[in-house]
Amino acid sequence: MKELRFRLILIIGALALTIYLLFPTYQDYRNNKEVAKNLETVEKKIKTSNPTITKIELKDIIQSKKDSILTNNQDFRDAREKRIKLGLDLQGGMYIVMEVNTAKLLEKIAKDTDEQFNQILSDSEKESKISDENVVSIFSRRMREKNVRLSRYFGSIREDDTQIEARLLEQEADAVTRAIEIIRNRVDQYGVSEPNIQKQGSRRIVVELPGIAREEEAKRLLQGRALLEFKLVKEADQVIPIMNRIDEILAGKQETDTTTQQGDLTEEQFAKQHPFFAVARLIDQTGSIADAFVQEEDRDLISQYLQRPDVKNILPDNLEFVYDAKPEVGEDGKKFFRMYAVNKTAELTGGVIVDAQSNIDPSTSAPVVNMQMNSEGAREWARITGSNIGKRCAVILDGMAYTAPTIQNKIPSGNSQISGMPNLDEAKLLEIVLKAGALPAPIDIIEERTIGPSLGQDSISQGFNSITLGYLIVAIFMIFYYRKAGSFADFALVFTILLLLGILAAFRATLTLPGIAGIVLTMGMAVDANVIIFERIREELSTGKTVKAAVEAGFKHSYSAIFDSNITTFFTGIILYQFGSGPIQGFALTLMIGIATSLFSQLILVRLIFDFMLAKGYKVNLG
């Protein structure tokens, strides 16, 4: 039995790993069931209390409730993160491919454009629609054909065409990076669960939004221009009294109420007496600045508070609370967002920014961002900075603050320097943000796929049925044809599928409908290895060998055929993975993992069972 031990440990180890990897998926399934049950009662309640509610409004409410339950519970979140993710085709959602409109970009950055330029540009645009070539390369080729130098419209006369072409390509890439940052920023705000934003090739962006129902809204989110604003941060002595008042109103106190007792309060008492400050924790207790930290989950609560009519009443017109775009993570892993109180009216918008560059300041070796404005912006900026020295000015992109540096002195030239970033990456991000406001190229949607949630549900149940039926039919056939040996293969097949799912979860891969097809197909293909071996064993038996010798020879003579055939299938899986997108990649992935896991279980597990049975002296028949 000793020679079996190693393999037995290997199998048990693999099984334990599989269970460990699949447990979160099971947990998540149960959590979702629980949440769905709760939501049903909520829905009924809303329907009875407000019978005239429209379907869309109801859906919105339920969705936001669901989101908040799922994101607020740490256990739910953990399970969700580690479960097998479902592709858009199974859970419903949107898949969008966008492309930077390079032609528009060229048009915008070209100088002294004329009839000839427009003609060549529109021809290049037409050509690019049916060719793989980049608009920039097509454009410069067409220019060369007409014997016009690129420097006539771009760059300076001293540069040659290749230099200019390289720079134009760079600007195109730059536009893509900026667009991605903007999209990411907006999608995060929208609260879509687990969005996926990816750059594809040099100028494409792929966005996956699971569970989005109203596509138009989602697309506006993705396509509109980014709004970059400079807003002055309000002084603490103005804001803190207002915050106190909000706190009092929420606690239900009258203006003259003086029963507030100071001193040590427990957290619960504090939360009761100061509902606002309990969720918006002032960063500076001395009251020199009015910034507060708000935990990720509490942001909804704050906006609910601020929407209350009695609170709205006391809010000054020109006050707005904005959050930092990037959270600070506390020791316990909780995310806190800094909340600023700013002027509602922007001092300046991003259109005036001509350029921004992140850099290392040579004198202090700290990361800085240099920003240049056009002459009009520079004039305004000089006025603003001149009259607000010592105040902070927040840089806000689409409603999210990125930084709020203090104005040191009057900036007359429009060339400003922002410092205080912890590292160069942050500086780089700020550079992107500053440029984003003046996004030069529009982004076109070139592919768009929406899958309704009901089709996704159908697909899941059809996929599940196919897996069960596929298993049954293969299993019954194997037992019917190979008797006891067939049952070994069937047992190994269960193991194969579990292992496959476990590895999918470990890879954080998504399960798609073609992916399920891949699993079903894997079941048919997985037993192939056993069929080859069993047939060979039968053949060896017929030459008069003992069972033990026949099993030995059967396995030995089958290895080369099994490996050769599986490796070629694996190769096509790799090619398919490269070729396909989304669902097809899911298929290729399950196919490849399926090959690996089925070889493992058919060759090692089935062999182990054979050896064990033979060592124990049990009879093994092959039908």
Partner 1 sequence: MRLFANLKIDFMSKRTFFYFVSTAFILLGVLGIFVKGINFGIDFKGGSEIALEFEKPIEITEIRSEVDKLGLGNIEVKTFGGSTGILLRTDLQEIPINLLPTVKSKIESLINNISPGLERKITESTNTAVIYEFPTPESADIIANRLYEAGFQTAEVSEEPTNTGVVVRLGISDWLKENLSEKYTDNPFTVLKEDKVGPKIGQELKSDAVIAVILSLLVILVYLGFRFKFAFAIGAVAALFHDVLITLGIFTVLYGVIPGLNLEFSVSIVAAFLTLVGYSINDTVIVFDRVREQMKIHKTAPLEDNINYAINRTMSRTIITTLTTALTVVILLIFGGEVLRGFAFALIIGFIVGTYSSIFVASAFVLEYSNRVKSKLQF
> Scanning residues 217 to 276, which ones bind partner 1 (CB under 8 A)?
217, 219-220
Q: What is the DSSP-derived secondary structure letter of residue 152?
A: G
C-beta neighbour count of 427 within 10 angstroms: 24
CA distance 513 to 455: 11
568 binds partner 1 (CB under 8 A): yes
> Which residue in the set 152, 565, 600, 613 belongs to the binding site for partner 1 (CB under 8 A)?
565
458 binds partner 1 (CB under 8 A): yes
CA distance 467 to 501: 13
524 binds partner 1 (CB under 8 A): yes
555 binds partner 1 (CB under 8 A): no
Strands 510-511 and 85-86: parallel
**In the complex with partner 1, which residue's Cβ is closer, 291 or 490?**
490
Q: How far is the CB of 1 from partner 1 (least distance, A)?
A: 31
**In the complex with partner 1, which residue's Cβ is closer, 178 or 536?**
536
466 binds partner 1 (CB under 8 A): yes
CA distance 603 to 390: 74
**In the complex with partner 1, which residue's Cβ is closer, 297 or 535?**
535
CA distance 504 to 572: 19
Kindly determine how many residues on this chain lie close enough to bind partner 1 according to the rule CB under 8 A: 82
**In the complex with partner 1, which residue's Cβ is closer, 20 or 464?**
464
**In the complex with partner 1, which residue's Cβ is closer, 164 or 443?**
443
**In the complex with partner 1, which residue's Cβ is closer, 4 or 58?**
58
587 binds partner 1 (CB under 8 A): yes
Q: How far is the CB of 411 from partner 1 (least distance, A)?
A: 31
Token digits for 443?
């982004």
> Which residue in the set 6, 26, 270, 571 belongs to the binding site for partner 1 (CB under 8 A)?
571
Token digits for 430?
């700020």
Give helix then strand counts, H and E, for the chain. 21, 18
Query: Contact at 8 Å (CB) between 417 and 367?
Result: no
Token digits for 127?
């050509």
93 binds partner 1 (CB under 8 A): no
Q: How far is the CB of 546 from partner 1 (least distance, A)?
A: 20
- Name the residue type at position 60: D
Binding mask 94-133 toward partner 1 (x if CB under 8 A, else -) reads ---x-------------------------------xx-x-
**In the complex with partner 1, which residue's Cβ is closer, 20 or 559?**
559
Query: Contact at 8 Å (CB) between 339 and 322?
Result: yes
**In the complex with partner 1, which residue's Cβ is closer, 358 or 459?**
459
Query: Contact at 8 Å (CB) between 514 and 522?
Result: no
502 binds partner 1 (CB under 8 A): no
Q: How far is the CB of 516 from partner 1 (least distance, A)?
A: 8
Full DSSP string of 497-531: HHHHHHHHHHTTPEE-HHHHHHHHHHHHHHHHHHH
Residues from 128 through 147 that contact partner 1 (CB under 8 A): 129-130, 132
The region of 166-174, 276-284, 536-544, 609-617 touching partner 1 under the rule CB under 8 A is 536-544
Query: Contact at 8 Å (CB) between 150 and 143?
Result: yes
Distance of CA 344 to the CA centre of its chain: 31
564 binds partner 1 (CB under 8 A): yes
132 three-class SS: coil
Give phi and psi for 235, each to the nearest 5: -70, 150
182 binds partner 1 (CB under 8 A): no
CA distance 94 to 206: 11
**In the complex with partner 1, which residue's Cβ is closer, 235 or 535?**
535
596 binds partner 1 (CB under 8 A): no
Query: Contact at 8 Å (CB) between 90 and 64?
Result: no
Query: Contact at 8 Å (CB) between 443 and 407?
Result: no
523 binds partner 1 (CB under 8 A): yes
591 binds partner 1 (CB under 8 A): yes
**In the complex with partner 1, which residue's Cβ is closer, 233 or 478?**
478
Give phi and psi for 462, each to the nearest 5: -65, -40
The region of 55-63, 350-358, 385-393, 432-440 touching partner 1 under the rule CB under 8 A is 55-63
Residues from 427 through 456 that contact partner 1 (CB under 8 A): 444-452, 454-455
